Amino acid sequence: MTLEGKQILLVDRPAEVDATAAILRQLGVRVSVAADATGALALARREEFDMAMIGIGVGAGGEALERLSEGGRVPSILMLASPAEARRAIQALSRGASDYLLKPLQPGEVVRVERLLRWQEQDVRTKHLQHEVGRRYLNSRTW
């Protein structure tokens, strides 16, 4: 799988967002940036994203996680944390985050982003297949 053409919402401190966005853009990702939960939610209402990446250190990082994950606005959420914030990133997993990455993001770590998006696509295909099998089964049964 490639990240080419994927749409990612990046929510992080302005001082830290540029390096992560640059790595993602080099891989062909379309990146939209928000500085806080309010901005992230506004973008998620206007556009569809394959994933959100949220910095733990953003003042409302937890709020962004909760608001973006409710109602399935964004299918996958990765938390971005400095090594000192890793414990908080792990705690975010119990609140709906899909995974976390340590900052500064290294190009080789993007494999985890690809893996998560691949799992997400497989989940969508599985749900579609289950729906189709159920529909066909119910239509073929005579009562």
pTM: 0.81
Confidence band of 122 (pLDDT split at 50, 70, 90): confident
pLDDT tens column, 7-63: 999 999 888 899 999 999 988 999 999 988 889 999 999 999 999 999 987 755 677
Q: Tens of pLDDT along 100-109?
A: 999 888 888 8
pLDDT given at position 8: 95
Specify the 3-state DSSP secondary structure of 8: strand
> Is residue 115 very low, low, confident or very high in pLDDT (cuts 50, 70, 90)?
confident
CB count in 10 Å sphere of residue 6: 19
The amino acid present at 116, given as its one-letter code, is L
pLDDT for the residue 59: 58
70: pLDDT confidence band, cut at 50, 70 and 90? Answer: confident
Q: Which domains are delineated in the chain? A: 7-140 (3.40.50.2300)
**At 87, is the pLDDT very low, low, confident or very high (cuts 50, 70, 90)?**
very high
How far is residue 94's CA from residue 11's CA, in Å, rounded to a whole number?
A: 19
The candidate with the shortest Cα–Cα distance to 80, out of 64, 119, 26, 46, is: 64
User: Considering only CA atoms, which of 18, 33, 32, 23 is closest in space to residue 3?
Assistant: 23
